[in-house]
Copies of this chain bind each other. A is one copy, B any other.
Amino acid sequence: MLAYAPDLDRVFQALADPGRRLMVDRLSRGPASVSELGRPLAMTLAAVLQHVQVLEACGLVRSAKLGRTRTCSINPAALRSAESWIADRRTMVERNLDRLGEYLAATADQPDPTSHAEGQQ
């Protein structure tokens, strides 16, 4: 029954930060080093690293160290899982709205006043 998904917590939490979204955005164009990711961010390298660790902990990003630079790249699978969680719900919502529309259209001519007060303000 739709088991509790601990990873989604962390993925959405990770995406909630604008700096981390910027990193994801950058990485979606290709791999980058930690300092490269932090360049547009006006914060310490240490802070950047912490963000990278958050992204890595939730599976959004993978990284490997080569020499003295750590190269990060994105993991599309984690993006996909978050995306489809949302997509599934949105699809359901829209399907229900469509059915509601059909129902309203079908009962529009009938004199049954079972209308809920929808759409305030």
Write the chain B residue with the least CB distance to A30.
B96
Binary flags per residue of A10-47, CB closer than 8 Å to B gives 1, else 0: 10110111100100110111100000000000000000
Binary flags per residue of A73-86, CB closer than 8 Å to B gives 1, else 0: 01010011011011
Count of this chain's copies in the oligomeric assembly: 2
Count residues on chain A whose CB falls below 8 Å from chain B CBs.
45
Write the chain B residue with the least CB distance to A80.
B90
Chain B nearest CB, measured from A45 CB (Å)? 21
Chain A residues with a Cβ under 8 A of chain B: 2, 4-5, 8-10, 12-13, 15-18, 21, 24-25, 27-30, 64-66, 71, 74, 76, 79-80, 82-83, 85-87, 89-90, 92-94, 96-97, 116-121
